[in-house]
A = this chain, B = another copy of it.
């Protein structure tokens, strides 16, 4: 079994590559839910849905999130009723939010709901939320403490980030199946997602980091930072404002003592030695996934690379 930790678009793309590269191998995605929020009374899970839609082959190829060809009729009608349509909710997409909200209200855990959705959409990858509990990424800014989507979407990441906290993280438990999947994994992949607010919350769920440290499988991370910039999303600006270097090397640094191997883009090949000096095997390869073929190619490279990686962590534990 292969286990991938992922946030949104970049992570979902590599997960799809892994699923397509190894159709006969069980794949489990452990997905960030700390960006989840409530809008118009509906529970929105942006990262889970991006992973779901991508693996179902439904994702919008231009944005990476949302559903291809989706319309915005309901959102326009919400605006007509006087509300600010600041977060894009497509009409097909809304079905997911409506049914998830209904099931959550009835007491069904998020993990069970996602299993139902994946089954209905013919997705064979197991999509697990990191937790069934409520964890919320809060972003501290000069304008005060903001919910993540308020910072990221509504205010267009324009506020300086002074700090990040995963409220509820310390009191949360891994969703059913998460720790078992990590223990049973033959390969653990930290997908190219924001190390602070996508992979960070997953690792902050008590038990998950420890399970990865204990796992016998090699752990390989793929950098979401290419050429000193985030390919997508908030990683670049946020890392800089938090006083971190915006580089693939800095991402490897975030995962120190957790990973055995690190994959960075070929444009960052000059950083290989610097990453290796952290005690991590490093590989430079084309890591920008524009097409589905790119995703499969990167997945194959990661799989090949993982075979060459000794589990240094495991050796330390032995």
Report which A residues bind B (CB closer than 8 A). Answer: 40-42, 67, 70-71, 73-78, 80-83, 91-96, 98-99, 101-103, 105-106, 116-117, 119-121
Contact = CB atoms under 8 A, between A and B. Distances in A.
Contact of A99 (B40, B94, B103, B117): B40
A41 B102 contact: yes
A297 B206 CA distance: 71
Contacts of A120: 80-82
Contact of A105 (B41, B83, B99, B117): B41
Contact of A81 (B77, B106, B121): B121
Contact of A121 (B74, B80, B105): B80
Contact of A77 (B78, B80, B96, B103): B96
B102 A74 contact: no
Contacts of A42: 98, 102
A95 B78 contact: yes
Interface centre among A41, A67, A83, A119 (most CB of B within 10 A): A41
A49 to B, nearest CB: 12
A95 B98 CA distance: 11
A68 to B, nearest CB: 12
Contact of A91 (B73, B81, B83, B116): B73
Contacts of A73: 70-71, 73, 91-92
B74 A92 contact: yes
A99 B71 contact: no
9 contacts: A40-B99, A41-B105, A74-B92, A74-B98, A76-B92, A78-B98, A80-B95, A82-B116, A83-B99
A98 to B, nearest CB: 5
A81 B95 contact: yes
A64 to B, nearest CB: 19
Contacts of A96: 77, 81
Nearest to A97: B98
B81 A40 contact: no
Nearest to A92: B77
Contacts of A116: 81-82
